[in-house]
Amino acid sequence: MSGPDTGTVTVTTEGAIAVIRFANPPEGYMDEGTEAGLTAAFDQVEADETVRAVILTGAQEGVFIRHYDVRVLEARSRKLAARGMVFTPDRPVPEPALHRNMRRIETSAKPYIAAINGTAMGGGYELALACDIRLAQAGDYPIGLPEVNLGILPGAGGTQRLSLLVGQARALEYCLTGRTFTPHEAAAAGLVNACVAGPVLDHAMGMAGRMAVHPPLALAHIKRLIRGAAPDPDRMALERTLFCDLMVQEEAITLMARMNNTDGDIRNP
């Protein structure tokens, strides 16, 4: 059964498994349309009691979600800077829709699997980090959090969730250097559960199917117990506040503009 096409996000169901697919040609960036589409997609799968497991994947070949559109970030930064906006920890930035959706994944009774079929950096990988399981398709593409190369930081939970996943020391190394990983490297480093040969969606469907045959309440209780170590809300608020603080700095605006003007790469703007 197919759900409605919502912007760049579509939902289909196969038995008890829902698949949320992202597409934003040609680059596959996350933007306002993807954010709105995510909300609608989660509304749909969470309201459907027949859905027992959810898979997130990319609809474009070689792209999960590349990262958040830096053109959008630059425009937001210039607007905030022009208004003289100042961001300090004593005035936390409210939680935006994208962040609420990621927290929704964590707190859902249903297991979520990120089937990473291609490039997943920045906000794209942060979305995968919010999921319960991450599978990556073997190939030559980057996975990671290279935001420091733009003079900013992973602002959608990346610093917090990566620390929980790989430990503080590794998270510091990866975020401070802006290092990205091939799928095999990501599996070895613990950024994904496994690097799989062949279409990753097939592997994700198999895993979701093994989960979906179990009683929903058992899945919910197991997830609740294991995910009790979710990111601290105060630390998450601090992360997004300091992200905004960096967004209005001239150095970050210059780096984002340089990348956008030269059609560069977030790993080397």
DSSP result, 54-92: EEEEESBTEEEE--B-HHHHHHHHHHHHHTT----TTSP
| Residue 126 falls in the annotated catalytic set | yes
Catalytic option among 147, 185, 239, 250 = 147
Contact 239/60 with Cβ under 8 angstroms?
no
Catalytic option among 35, 46, 61, 126 = 126
Report strand pairing: 17-22 vs 9-14. antiparallel
Strand order in the sheet with 133-137: 9-14, 17-22, 53-58, 112-116, 133-137, 194-196
Report strand pairing: 62-65 vs 53-58. unpaired
Q: Which letter, b or e, does each residue of 194-225 get, where b requires 16 or more Cβ atoms within 10 Å of its Cβ?
A: ebbeeebbebbbebbeebbeeebeebeeebee
| Residue 46 falls in the annotated catalytic set | no
Residue 112 backbone phi and psi in degrees, to 5: -115, 130
Is the dihedral angle over the CA atoms 48, 4, 107, 170 positive or is it negative? positive
Question: In terms of C-beta density within 10 A (0-12 exposed, 13-18 middle, 19 or more buried), how is residue 238 classed?
Answer: middle
**For residue 58, what are its two tokens?**
């990319």
Q: How far apart are CA 75 and CA 81, in angstroms?
A: 10
**Catalytic amino acids?**
126, 147
